[in-house]
Amino acid sequence: MSADQRGPEVGVAGAAGAVGAVGAVGAEDVHVSASRIEGYARGALRAELFVEVEDHLGQCLHCRTVLASIASRSRTDAGWRQLSERLDAPSRSRLEGLFVTVGVPEHLARLAMATPVLRRSWLAAAVTALLFALLAARLSPAVSATVLLLVAPLVPVTGVALSYGPAADPMYELGLVMPVSSLRLVLLRSATVLLTSAVLGAVAALAMPVQGLALFGWLAPSLAVVTLALALSAYLEAGIAAGVAGAVWVASVAWAGWGSTTRSALLTGPAQAACVLVASVGAGLVAAQRHRFEQGSWRSGRRSTA
Amino acid sequence: MSGSESTVNVRSVSVGFRGRPALDGVSFVLRPGVTGLLGPNGAGKTTLLRVLATAISPDRGELSLLGEDPGTGPGKLAIRRRLGYLPQNPGFHPGFTALEFVDYVAILKELTDRRARRAEVLRVLETVGLADQRAKKIKALSGGMRQRVALAAAIIGDPDLLVLDEPTVGLDPEQRLRFRELVADLGEGRTVLLSTHQTEDVSALCRRVIVLDRGVVKFQGLPAELKAVAEGRVWSSTERDRTALAGWRTGEGTFRNIGTPPQEARRLAPTLEDGYLLLLDGAPAADQGVLR
């Protein structure tokens, strides 16, 4: 356990009721331990503890003397700098923190996660949708694969619709005129949504009474639906584009035999290959129409202008 | 007029929305310093500013920003690296603090090195006087402070061209004064285009002024020249003068009128606002030699 994780640690005795880094009683009665002062000088303390020790040092000659004996001015200054940087570090959501932990550069993690919907509401909706799918599958195991196949691709396409565009992103207009291209931002956020959805979908699939291709047969359709939505969003509002892509997917599942007790026609090799083809064509269209993502959607009259 | 070289050249630029022209053959040049852009609602100011901020490409005409062509990919990128833009409604992510918002914009401006970015974010927050408020959620800040946060984001990277869309709307007089000071400072050595409804902003800040009406440039020149449009055309009367283009009762109880004064009328010294109102009302500014 590191010094800054331990509980109350006082040097000189006599501090009944002492709390935190130093006692709650008169500052001159209780002193900070030498190890904690050392931690303070190195900037190794948690921010709150650092401030608490700093407060005490301002009032206690004894502890200042200890500090002077163990720490040079430059080390203390370095500690202050580190504290200041920690206090100024933008706060991260758990998901953003997870991305940084697994090696995603912090600026990319921030760009990917800055859309509010990625922080809470969409995640909650995604988990709820998959839980309902899980419940339906439990109640009627025969249609488990179809339920999963229907719901799993709709989760990421909803997330993509809610992660960019003037309706979803309050900083849309500002983002348009930045050196970091809007398409890059869209793709980064879409990839984040797809990745998160894939993890949630995989967890749901493993909890369902499905096997074989049905386990992960929703991945290629997810990619196809999302890519189709992105390609359409070069021409339509992001929400409408996602709605169209989602509707196409629902129709496809219905066409392939909704509720069939046999395996859905979409869970066959050729159907999966077709999904990959749709995804490839969609990606090609996005690349071909990339300039459209760099222009405000006001031009099409979807938003009013002054 | 400054003898310095033009940094923005707009020639015969037109933009339409569903067949309706928002900008119709707009031409002007900008030089370093603050230029005011005046115009009524629907005049095309925001569209023009979006064109200059590279958010909209014009349908026709030629555009050169900071010596670059925004019609090409490399040109657009080069401009965006040297551009600061404050939209009319700068959106904020609800959970962001002032520091987080500016930090996010700094990332979008390609400041990926954490230490360099932090230093720049603190510098711009210091410039707008909000370093002490940096840890506060934006939703907890006043309207004036929010505008200053947005301005801080606009000046990240020390841009050479600053495009500000009605930044003083909704600010109280004290906040507006503070904002003017900031914009005046920022106008030193860089090109600033300030869109505003407030003729006082133009009088206080701007070296030059452009008046846009229904997508057309009706005037460009010095603020004194715009004021001169109303020379001899402002008078006072004790009763409302029905022949005036516009008239209003002043705090002294008399009426201030603009238009074509009667022979015996007591003339008043015109203001920039008088010139602006007359110009919008179809005053023959060309006769004054200032319609460009």
Please state the domain extents for chain B.
1-82+159-222, 89-157, 227-287
Distance from CA of B109 to the nearest CA of A (A): 6
* Count of pairs with CB atoms under 8 A, one residue in A, one in B: 109
Cα–Cα dist A226/A218, whole Å? 12
In a domain, A82, yes or no: yes
Structure tokens, B133: 């408020």
In a domain, A306, yes or no: no
- Reported in sequence order, the residue ranges of chain A that DSSP labels E, i.e. its strands, are none
Phi and psi dihedrals of B37, rounded to 5? Answer: -120, 110
User: Which residues of chain A have a Cβ shorter than 8 Å from any chain B Cβ?
Assistant: 85, 87-88, 90-91, 105-107, 110-111, 114-116, 119, 169-180, 185, 294-296, 298-299, 301, 305-306
pLDDT value at B72 more than 60: yes
Cβ neighbors of B210 (< 8 A, separation 6 or more) are B28, B35, B36, B37, B38, B217, B219, B220
Same domain, A84 and A221: no
Task: Kindly report, residue by residue over B97-147, the tens digit of the pLDDT.
Answer: 999 999 999 999 999 888 899 999 999 999 998 888 888 899 899 888 898
In a domain, A135, yes or no: yes
Beta pairing class for B208-213 and B33-38: parallel
Residue ranges in B91-162 assigned as alpha helix (H): 98-108, 114-127, 143-154
Inter-chain contact A91–B100, Cβ cutoff 8 Å?
A: yes
Phi and psi dihedrals of A127, rounded to 5? Answer: -65, -40
Q: Are B49 and B238 in contact (CB under 8 A)?
A: no
Beta pairing class for B216-221 and B208-213: antiparallel
Smallest Cβ–Cβ distance between B93 and the set A170, A177, A299 belongs to A170
Average pLDDT, chain B: 89
Q: Which of B50, B121, B161 to mutate to test the interface with A (most CBs of A within 10 A)?
A: B50
Return the DSSP state at A30: S
**Whether B149 contacts chain A with CB within 8 A:** no
* B162 CB-contact burial (10 Å; exposed 0-12 / middle 13-18 / buried 19+): buried
Q: What is the pLDDT of residue A261?
A: 53
Cβ neighbors of A291 (< 8 A, separation 6 or more) are none
Distance from CA of A95 to the nearest CA of B (A): 15
Q: Which of B17, B108, B139 to mutate to test the interface with A (most CBs of A within 10 A)?
A: B108
Smallest Cβ–Cβ distance between A174 and the set B42, B47, B87 belongs to B87
The whole-angstrom distance between residue A207's C-alpha and the CA centroid of its chain comes to 23
pLDDT value at A224 more than 50: yes
The whole-angstrom distance between residue B202's C-alpha and the CA centroid of its chain comes to 8
Cα–Cα dist B228/B284, whole Å? 12
Between A219-232 and A269-288, two packed helices, what is the crossing angle to 10 degrees? 30
Structure tokens, B83: 């551009």
Q: What is the pLDDT of residue A249?
A: 93
Same domain, A117 and A246: yes
Same domain, A84 and A101: no
Distance from CA of B286 to the nearest CA of A (A): 27
In chain A, what residues touch B153 (CB-CB under 8 Å)?
174
In a domain, A305, yes or no: no
Q: Give exposure, B244-279, as e/b (b: 16+ Cβ within 10 Å).
A: bbebeeeeeeebbbbbebeeebeebebbbbbbbbbb
Inter-chain contact A180–B153, Cβ cutoff 8 Å?
A: no
User: From A115, which residue of chain B is nearest by alpha-carbon distance?
Assistant: B93
Query: Which H or E run contains B284?
Result: none
In chain A, what residues touch B57 (CB-CB under 8 Å)?
295
Smallest Cβ–Cβ distance between B80 and the set A114, A170, A178 belongs to A178
The better pLDDT of the pair B170, B127 is held by B127
Structure tokens, B109: 């401006």
Average pLDDT, chain A: 78
Cβ neighbors of A33 (< 8 A, separation 6 or more) are A9, A10, A11
Between A238-255 and A219-232, two packed helices, what is the crossing angle to 10 degrees? 140
**Whether B38 contacts chain A with CB within 8 A:** no
B178-186: long-range contacts at Cβ-Cβ below 8 A with a sequence spacing of 24 or more? Answer: B178/B129, B178/B144, B178/B148, B179/B144, B179/B147, B179/B148, B179/B151, B180/B204, B180/B205, B182/B127, B182/B128, B182/B148, B182/B151, B183/B34, B184/B34, B186/B34, B186/B155, B186/B162
pLDDT value at B24 more than 50: yes
Beta pairing class for B234-237 and B266-267: antiparallel
Q: What is the mean pLDDT of residues B18-41?
A: 93
Most confident option among A198-207, B210-219, B230-239: B210-219
Three-state secondary structure call for residue B182: helix
Identity at A273, one-letter amino acid code: A
Domain stops at, among A53, A88, A123: A88
Same domain, A62 and A162: no
Distance from CA of B254 to the nearest CA of A (A): 36
Query: For chain B, what percentages of helix, strand and coil (3-state, to nearest 5) are there?
Result: 35, 25, 40
Q: What is the pLDDT of residue A85?
A: 66
End-to-end CA distance of chain B: 14
Domain stops at, among A41, A68, A88: A88
**Whether B103 contacts chain A with CB within 8 A:** yes
Inter-chain contact B91–A172, Cβ cutoff 8 Å?
A: yes
Q: Are B196 and B223 in contact (CB under 8 A)?
A: no
Smallest Cβ–Cβ distance between A114 and the set B93, B118, B153 belongs to B93
User: From B134, which residue of chain A is nearest by alpha-carbon distance?
Assistant: A88
Structure tokens, B282: 């179809």
Same domain, A18 and A109: no
Same domain, A81 and A108: no
Cα–Cα dist B96/B76, whole Å? 29
Most confident option among A128-142, A200-214, A238-252, A286-300: A238-252
Cα–Cα dist A133/B99, whole Å? 41
Least confident of A256-270, B175-189, B218-232: A256-270
Domain stops at, among A54, A88, A122: A88
Same domain, A83 and A105: no
User: From B107, which residue of chain A is nearest by alpha-carbon distance?
Assistant: A107
End-to-end CA distance of chain A: 60
Cα–Cα dist A264/A271, whole Å? 10
Smallest Cβ–Cβ distance between A178 and the set B93, B94, B109 belongs to B109
For residue A141, the enclosing domain spans 97-300
* Tally of structural domains, chain A: 2
Beta pairing class for B216-221 and B234-237: unpaired
Same domain, A28 and A152: no
**Whether B93 contacts chain A with CB within 8 A:** yes
Phi and psi dihedrals of A93, rounded to 5? Answer: -75, 170
**Whether B22 contacts chain A with CB within 8 A:** yes
Cα–Cα dist B285/B219, whole Å? 8
Structure tokens, B16: 């339409």
Quote ipTM for the complex: 0.85
A202-211: long-range contacts at Cβ-Cβ below 8 A with a sequence spacing of 24 or more? Answer: A203/A130, A204/A130, A204/A131, A204/A133, A204/A134, A204/A148, A204/A152, A205/A148, A205/A152, A207/A134, A208/A133, A208/A134, A208/A137, A208/A138, A208/A144, A208/A148, A209/A137, A209/A138, A209/A141, A209/A144, A210/A137, A210/A144, A210/A145, A210/A148
The better pLDDT of the pair B231, A139 is held by B231
Same domain, A154 and A123: yes
Q: What is the mean pLDDT of residues A212-223?
A: 86
Identity at A227, one-letter amino acid code: T
Pick the CATH number of B1-82+159-222 from 3.40.50.2300, 3.40.50.300, 3.40.50.1000, 3.30.30.10: 3.40.50.300
Same domain, A61 and A156: no
Task: Kindly report, residue by residue over A142-197, the tens digit of the pLDDT.
Answer: 777 788 888 889 988 988 888 888 888 888 899 899 999 888 988 988 888 888 88
Cα–Cα dist B155/B17, whole Å? 30
Same domain, A179 and A244: yes
Identity at A99, one-letter amino acid code: F
Smallest Cβ–Cβ distance between B55 and the set A91, A173, A306 belongs to A173
Q: Which of A82, A93, A96, A177 to mutate to test the interface with B (most CBs of B within 10 A)?
A: A177
pLDDT value at B258 more than 60: yes
Q: What is the pLDDT of residue A150?
A: 87
**Whether B107 contacts chain A with CB within 8 A:** yes
Task: Kindly report, residue by residue over B31-48, the tens digit of the pLDDT.
Answer: 999 999 999 988 999 999
Same domain, A31 and A163: no
The whole-angstrom distance between residue B258's C-alpha and the CA centroid of its chain comes to 25
In chain B, what residues touch A299 (CB-CB under 8 Å)?
17, 56
A83 pLDDT tier (thresholds 50, 70, 90): low
**Whether B23 contacts chain A with CB within 8 A:** no
In chain B, what residues touch A295 (CB-CB under 8 Å)?
55-57
Cα–Cα dist B250/B246, whole Å? 13
Cα–Cα dist A304/A299, whole Å? 9
Smallest Cβ–Cβ distance between A299 and the set B56, B90, B117 belongs to B56
